[in-house]
Structure 1
Amino acid sequence: MAETGPGSPKNTARSEPQPSTDLASDTEANHEKLDQELRKLRSIIYSYSFKCYGSASKLVGPDIIKDRCSIPYRFTGDGDSALWNGLLCFTGRNPWACDAIKKSQSEDGRIWRSTRRKLTENDGNDYPQASFSRDMARGVMLYILQTRDRNLASRWSDYISENGALCPDHTDWSCDIRAQSYRRINHVLATVEAQDISFSHTVFPCMWPTYPVTSALHETVMEHRVEKNESFHLHLAAIDLLMDSQLKKPLYDDESRRDMARVLFRRKPYNLFYQYLAQGPTAELKRRILAFAPRERPPYLAQWVWEREIPARDIEKYVPSGQTPTDEQLEKAFRDYVKLESMGWDFVFLIDLVLEKRPEESI
């Protein structure tokens, strides 16, 4: 079936030549060829991806709306920047993203969603989105694991312990410290020998005397997450797996991590980040990145595509009503979604994970 999407099939075929399938084998020669193509692709994508005050950001529309990324305007595109900056920092190839995390911490140790959100105090106290969240905390943890910045880690830990939350404006509970987040943050802090957050501020005081039991519960919960979660909740589970091997005391052994990653990839075979976690930087994954990634700026730099489900509008192009989509149909739909809405940084991140790496290697 010919592809449809934002561009015509003819233009798509001309602008996105596909690597030959023989490049899928893991020979050194193939990896070198694929890495060369990936470097060129990364340069193209990097050139149109958007930063707001030095933070990876969305730009939901044409370039003219970049003007909204200024003070005193409110700008929604940097609401998840702490997570994206942390992921990009974690690859070791984007020092600017590491700097963005560091610049998002205020004098009292508090960390904000982005550098601009710190400067504007989250665009005012009446802004409907909390100034931080447990999701964004993963970006900070990724930063800490990559940079070993004990100073930032200790100041952040002190702030959390003193305030009992990741941020004070947590009316939607996005900043409360729950048993799972408490445990993971402290494992990261211990890895860099920073001060733990205070145990007394978890949200489940009834579990305080039985914390070792909650540790076992967390293992079960993680296995449930990879089997049952969807959308960004599933992506957060994937990030936890990505971080785990970097901990001084990992929560899972290598085989358990790989088994859970295989579940992710089995459930979402079009998600190349999950393929990376399940298989590593294989030549086949590099070939698929080259096949999936847009060569031109998408109309909407709107999504970190690895954390979203394929929109129904794209699935419906290929799947008759009432039928279960095949993997092939889902892949075509996902590629249409990417061409329309990929923010760019999502592919920069993935390319950086695999570039110049071989299947036996990991971060």
Structure 2
Amino acid sequence: MTLFNGLLCISGDQLGCDAVMHAQDVSGRWHRSPRLAADPTLRPKDSFSWDMALGVQLYVVKTGDRASLQRWLAWVESSRPCLVETPLDGKKYCLVRGWPRWCTDDTEGGCSAKPQNLATLIRTIDALGLQLPPAAEDVPPTGIIGDILRKLQDQAREANAALSLGRLLEKSRNLQPSILLMDSLANEPGFSRHLAGVEILLSRRLGLGSEEVNIAATVLALKEKNNPFFQYLWEGPSERVRQLLLSIAPKTQAQLPMSKRDWAWQRTDTEQAWKSSNLWDFQFAGRLVTQLP
């Protein structure tokens, strides 16, 4: 999945970087994996989420592939749902679009952009020097129908821009450090708490470490003392963190998990998810704890 591949990528694993790159299609849309990008019918619903978008940002930070992220921003803007449309000459044209979304096939509530998502994304955009996409408008046809549509678009332009991705991102500037700190305190144990950890890692790799980011890392580490990823975010690649990782890592063929189905660091300590690790989580953490601080 694109989140975990992005984490592998930022840790220095080229396979992770390649997987994120190939999860984007020619339209700019990103999918959960290269397999699903090649055949979207394999997952026709909830084809993306904010979790995956964090993986995309980690990939771009590591590879410098700004053009792919710029294409994705344009796709997100153009994929806003239509709120007001007008029929002209047998066709329907959208005049006012609604709230941005990361996918258009939502059934779980994971596609719609949330304020904390926007606050993180604008930090990435600004740090990478990307451009905010202009508010999407339908391309007018030629002739008198096009002239009519242009006049209608002029009248609806401010309403259409009100909920545009660019406008909402602008309003989200400077909110992320405080939101990240609150997320570290309030997010539920498990994958939600793990996402706060991913955002801490992203902030630091963007060169945006701060007191709030450090406090958030401390909070996560104190909440889950046996999670090597959280402990790494707190104190870096220390000997203590390396030994913690080694203490739960499989060391023999017999210790390899029978069911390799999970990313252990997104689960609580009490779940002992490393016993069903897919082993890529150990690859990720092992690379982190052997890098220079």
1:226 aligns with 2:184: yes
Aligned counterpart, 2:248: 292
Structure-2 change in CA distance of 1:198 and 1:293 (3 Å): farther
Contact 1:306/1:346 (8 A) holds in 2: yes
Aligned pair in 2 of structure 1 residues 176, 350: CA closer, same or farther (>3 Å)?
same
Q: What does 1:146-225 align with in structure 2 at a 5 Å threshold? A: 146-164=62-80, 165-197=101-133, 215=173, 218-225=176-183
**1:236 and 2:155 correspond:** no
Q: Which amino acid aligns with 1:350?
A: A
SS of equivalent residue, structure 2 residue 285: helix
Q: Which amino acid aligns with 1:267?
A: K
The Cα offsets for residues 227-272 of structure 1, whole Å up to 9 and x where unpaired, read as: 1222111000011111112336x3x51x332221111111100111
Q: CA deviation at 1:163?
A: 0.8
- 1:338 Cα deviation (Å)? 1.9
* Cα shift readout 1:156-207 (whole Å, capped 9, x = no counterpart): 11111111222111233312122221232232223332232457999x95xx
Say if 2:268 is the partner of 1:348. no
- Residues 223 and 167 from structure 1, CA distance in 2 versus in 1: closer, same or farther, beyond 3 angstroms? same
Distance 2:220 2:213 in 1: 11
Q: Distance in 1 between matches of 2:130 and 2:25?
A: 18
The code of the aligned residue for 2:221 comes to: F
Aligned residues: 246
Q: Is the counterpart of residue 116 in structure 1 residue 35 in structure 2? A: yes
Contact 2:8 2:16 in 1 (8 A): yes
Task: Give the one of 260, 266, 288 matched to 1:301.
Answer: 260
Aligned partners of 2:30 and 2:72 also within 8 Å: yes
Match of 1:84 in 2: 4
For normalisation by structure 1, the TM-score amounts to 0.62
Cα gap change, 1:298/1:191 in structure 2, threshold over 3 Å: closer, same or farther? same
Per the alignment, residue 261 of structure 1 pairs with 217
Residues 94-133 of structure 1 mapped to structure 2, 5 A cutoff:
94-125=13-44, 129-133=45-49
Query: Any unmatched runs of 5+ in structure 1?
Result: 1-80, 315-333
Matches within 5 A, 1:323-342: 334=272, 337-339=273-275, 341-342=276-277
In 2, the alpha carbon distance for the partners of 1:259 and 1:346 equals: 24
In the TM superposition, residue 111 of structure 1 has moved relative to its aligned partner by: 0.4
**Alignment partner of 1:245: what SS?**
helix
Which residue identity is paired with 1:158? A
> Structure 1 CA distance, aligned partners of 2:168 and 2:194?
29
CA 1:348–1:199 in structure 2 vs 1: closer, same or farther (change >3 Å)? farther
The answer to whether the 8 A contact 1:84-1:139 is kept is yes
Inter-partner Cα distance in structure 1 for 2:190 and 2:289: 23
Match for residue 41 of structure 1? none
RMSD between aligned residues: 2.8
Flag the 1:226–1:124 CA change in 2: closer, same or farther, 3 A: closer
| TM-score (norm. length: structure 2) | 0.75
2:52 is equivalent to residue 136 of structure 1: yes
Verify the 8 A CA contact 1:160 1:197 in the aligned structure 2.
no
